[in-house]
Every structure is written in C-alpha cells, then in structure tokens.
Structure 1
C-alpha cells in the first residue's frame, strides 16, 4: 500500500486533481466503476468544501485494507486549518450550508456514498474529514462494526511512493497494529515496509517480539525497516509494545500520556539480541498513537476529549495536520497510526 496521493487544494483547478487522485487510487485498488464513481464524488465534494469554507487545505488519498474480506479500500482525508464549526450533526444535514448559493448537500452525499465517513471540527481550529470506499457498497440498513484502527501516510515532497506503511490484523482475541518505516525513501524503502505489513497477516497470532524476529528474517532481502508492533489482548485487557528502530509510540490512559521508545536497530539488518516488551493496561479510555520520524519529535498529543473519542482515522489525520505547517514542512515520509478500544465513537461516525 505504498502508493500515496497528496493534493494541496488552494484554487478551483485542484478540485479536478483531487478527483483524479481518487480515480487513480480506485484503479490501483481494482474497484468497480460504481465504487470509483462514489470515490470521485466524495473527493470532489470534500475538495470543493476546502475552497468554499476553509480557504484551502489538502486532500490525502491512501490505499488501506478493508475491515473485512479481501481486496483494497480507498481512504480519503480532507485536512484544513479553516474556521471550523461547532455542530457536526448539523453540518451533515442536507440543506445546511454556510456558503451563499450552496445547496448544502455535499457532506450528506459523502455520508451516503462512503462505506465509512467521519467528521471532526473545532471552531477556529479547522476540520478533518475521512471517507473510506470499500470494494463493496454498504447494504442499506445493515450495521457495520467500527474499525479499532486507522492511519494516514504521506510521502516526502508529495512523492508517489512512501517508505512508510502500517497495517493491522486480528487473530482470536488479539488485535495487532504494525507501523514500518523503510530505510531511506522511495520504492526500495516502500518495498521493505510493505513486506513487513504483508507478513503481519501471517504472524498476527504471535506475540510482538516474535513478530519482530520473524520480520527480521523476511526483510533481509530488503534494505530493512524500523518497525514497532502493538498488540492488544482483549481477554486480558492488556497492551504489549515492542519496537526496533525509530518508530515511536504514545499511550493515553486516563488523563495522561506515556511515551514508548523503540530499541535501536534495523529489522532485516541489525537486530538486537533482546527486544524489550512493554505491557500496559488497556481500558475503554485508552488510546495508542504510533508514528514514524517524519512527525516532529516534540509534537504535542491531542487533549480534546471530543477528538480522542472519534474514529481512529480522524485522530490520525488531526495529529498529522497539527504537527505540520508550511513554516515547518516534513523532512521525511510521515505515517501516523492509531489504535482504540472496540467501541462506536461519535454519533455521526460510520452512520448507516
């Protein structure tokens, strides 16, 4: 899933570029014409909203694994630092708009077209919207369980290939999240990180340290990667963390955050004799954020309880948005992945 699309949206010509990015992503994912049309509609509406309501922003399009079944989904992000708004439910209602001449149906059509649509906004701070287009459309009236993970990936200088990758898998009562940062940039780094994610699907039944040892063997033909693995044992309500290289993690429990620093080394090249494993309680109010070193080392974790209760894809998008700015551009590929307890979050998340 190393191919990424990032479109700065600051004039009307970039709306077409956002739509084209969604179309290209769907083609790479192998989605049908109807699902591609849904993605194009969502991309167009979100990019248009960036111009009308936020004074510009950026669209990011990623390829992700669907929550169930085979294939590939297309994940769209809309990120801005505009005026924002206080009531997401009202904004999603057909007929509501803050722009003169608008029918106010844009966000509502996104909600209906996407398999999952999430929206977070804060007055004076901007808006984050995420939409996932799966290979199959939603069945009207069906309930879809919330996905406990989400993430966003961007490439250095808006390159096509990103050396970072993240993925997750279930095995019985275990939920495992992995984030890999391939050494360097470009296709070879992307090959290493993508190989790590692919192997996770076959190794999700193992504990984190064993997964890393297995990845060390798998990544030897590649240039290697920094990898952190987080695993929740649902039955024991416990989080286990292990990492090798410069992928970092922070865990929130209650009102505080705990940092986890991975062990030095490179999976596939320089593997330590012992891999420390950290174990922490995993509660309903817990949250895990993993990120590559493209995120500034002194980024501040979010404290808005409304944001922290949202879908993990929204949390990841908001963290990436807040950590970067034109005055502080990214100097590396950047990925943020978030793991939350299995719970439906906000009333307008994944509305079916």
Structure 2
C-alpha cells in the first residue's frame, strides 16, 4: 500500500517530525544505519530551509520503486542510464522526499546549490548537502510562487553527486509522481506505477474508491497486476485490472502506454482520472470512459492513439487536483525531474481557500531532457 508521511512545517518543532518521517521510511525499506542517517539529514535540511527561506511549507516522504523513476532507454540495444547500484527487492526502492512551499522563491538557484551560500547568515550547507548525498536531486523555483525540492535516497550510496534535472542521453521516457493522502492520513487510496516491457513504457494511475485502507487495497491490486502484464495494450490491460479488482471496492484507473519503436502513445481510462498530453505548447485532454474498474466496465473501451515525440509530456492525476488546473509557463519542463513537475502542478493548484477533497496523486511522463551545449 502507498504509505506517505505528510509533514506540515510551520515551526521549528516540525523539523524533528520531518526527520523522523524520513527515518521511518528508511526503516520501512530496511536501510542500514548510514543510509537512514542520510535520509534524516536530507529531510532535516529541506525542512529547515522551508522555515528559513519560505516561512514554512510541506514535506512529503514516501517510498518509490527505483524502476518506476529510472529512465527508459531509447530503444533496443540502447545503454540504460546509470544512476548508481541498486539491488533488487526492497533495496531497489528509494525514499523520496519532497519539500514544497509558496514562498518568495530562490533568486539565484545555481548559487543556492553551492556550499557556503546563505541569505540568513547560516552555514549555507542545506541544498548543497542534499545535492551531494542524494541519489536523485532536483529543484524548481519561481519568484513569487515558491520552490519545490526533491531528493531520493537509495539503500546504497551513489558513486558521485547528481546534477539537478540531468538524465543520461539514452533516457527516452522518464516518469515521476507525488502522492498526498487526504487529511494527512497514513495511507493513500491512490497509487501509480511505471512499467517497462521491451519497447513499451506503461504509466498507470489508480484511485481506489473512497479513502483509507479499503481504497489503498484496490489501487495496490491495480499496481501489482499492471507489473505482471505491462506488455498488453491499454484496453486489454484494463480488462485484466477489472478482473483483478473484483474483490476490492474498485477504482478509477487510467493507463497510458508509449510505444518507443512506433513513436505512439496509447491511452485508455475508466473513471475520473484526469489526463492531459502536451505536444509543443498545446495541451490536449484525454478522456476516460465512465465506470469503475472491478465493478462496472463496458464491453469495449476506447483506445486513443496519438503521436509521442521527444517534447511530449503526459500528466495523469486523481480528482484531488482541480480538473481545470492551468500550468504556468515554467511549470512543465523536460529539463526537470517528472516528480518535480508533478509537485509544482500540485503546489500551484492548491491554496488554503481550496482545500483538497480527496487523496491527490499526480504522475508525469516526459521525454528526454534537452542536450547540453
């Protein structure tokens, strides 16, 4: 089940809560003492930065599969992206820590990522430390809108510090997401997964009906089944999921699949999962069919087929995100980690005047980052 530690950071006492959340997530994955300490350090630094520079914010800690967030190679025979040694099993999972705020933003991000930089007369080791010790690290900051920082920590140390937003040139498709349980519950009824099978990359988002453990059982069953049959096209996948979820309360599910060889995106959905595809500067909604996977499904599901190019971006979201969200011009970028894009979309669409009514999950699929000079 999707376990998320949602920590609001509005005073210094919550910095400890963020650290404990990261330690708990690391313990859940069986990390050794050294790697638990790294997760705790990153959470502490990010939470402290929220207070110092933004007047507070939110820390989200969860565990993610390394395979879900790893880049997919360009095609047959392409070398996979190197991101450090990751053993199988639970040690192939990562602790993901996201800090988001509605503060003033960081005026000079490259400087902020270097050791010794500070605007508050501190040691200036926060973001620079996170950059050095995290397996993945990325930051998005916009003046007047706030900052999102993301770090992932694995069970083993990586060989060298990552470059924010960087991905190997062989990465044809990258995925990432964030999950925020309703009312800071321990379990989310939403779940997402990205599965690679030969030339196909399949992104799934499931929203179990309601909240809590029962909803989580349904979405978790969808994730398990899609990992077993990701070679099937989206309509057939939904048929498999419909059978797998019959003994659960059911879920709204969307399945998007990129065929790397054909340069095509296939999409099928059942229920109220939102989906939008960006090509160039244009956004196009992808419509799901009414119904509930596991309970009410039509005999035949529509299968949308659209071109997938290097600049395409796909966003799937549950109904915790407003259906009419409008991304800022800089919110979606192929240069940043897809999970950062997901967090920016959630941050920009949220406010105290518009509280979430349900679990909120956003999963993003993007093409490769632009090549450097």
Q: What's the TM-score, normalizing by structure 2?
A: 0.89
Helix, strand or coil at the partner of 1:61: strand
1:261-300 superposed matches below 5 A: 261-300=287-326
The answer as to whether partners of 1:78 and 1:128 remain within 8 angstroms in 2 is: yes
The question of whether the paired residues in 2 share the 8 Å contact of 1:310 and 1:346 is answered with no
Contact 1:250 1:257 in 2 (8 A): yes
Residues 192-231 of structure 1 aligned to structure 2 (within 5 Å): 192-231=218-257
Q: CA deviation at 1:140?
A: 3.2
Find the residue that maps to 1:153 and give its secondary structure: strand
Summarize the alignment of residues 5-154 of structure 1 with structure 2, pairs less than 5 Å apart: 5-67=5-67, 69-71=88-90, 72-100=93-121, 102-140=122-160, 145=168, 148-154=174-180
CA–CA separation in structure 2 for the residues paired with 1:149 and 1:16:
30
Aligned to 2:187: 161
Offset of 1:30 from its aligned partner? 2.1
- Deviation at residue 92 of structure 1 after TM alignment: 0.4
- What does the per-residue CA deviation read over 1:217-264, in whole Å, with 9 as the maximum and x for residues that have no partner? 111111111100011011111111110011110000011100012101
1:213 partner SS: helix
**Inter-CA distance 223–73: structure 2 relative to 1 (3 Å threshold):** same
Measured in 2, the distance between the counterparts of 1:185 and 1:346 equals 42
Q: Give the C-alpha shift of residue 125 in structure 1.
A: 1.4
1:311-341 residue CA offsets vs partner (Å, 9 max, x unmatched): 1010000011111111111000110000001
Relative to structure 1, the CA distance from residue 110 to residue 346 in structure 2 (aligned partners, 3 Å threshold; closer, same or farther) is farther
Q: Give the direction of change, closer, same or farther, for the CA distance of 1:83–1:144 in structure 2 (3 Å limit).
A: closer
Give ranges in structure 2 of 5+ residues lacking alignment: 68-85
Q: How many residues align?
A: 345
2:197 to 150, 168, 171: 171
1:98-132 deviations in Å (ceiling 9; x for gaps): 112x1111111101111000011111111000011
Which 10-residue stretch deviates more, 302-311 or 131-140?
A: 302-311
RMSD between aligned residues: 1.8
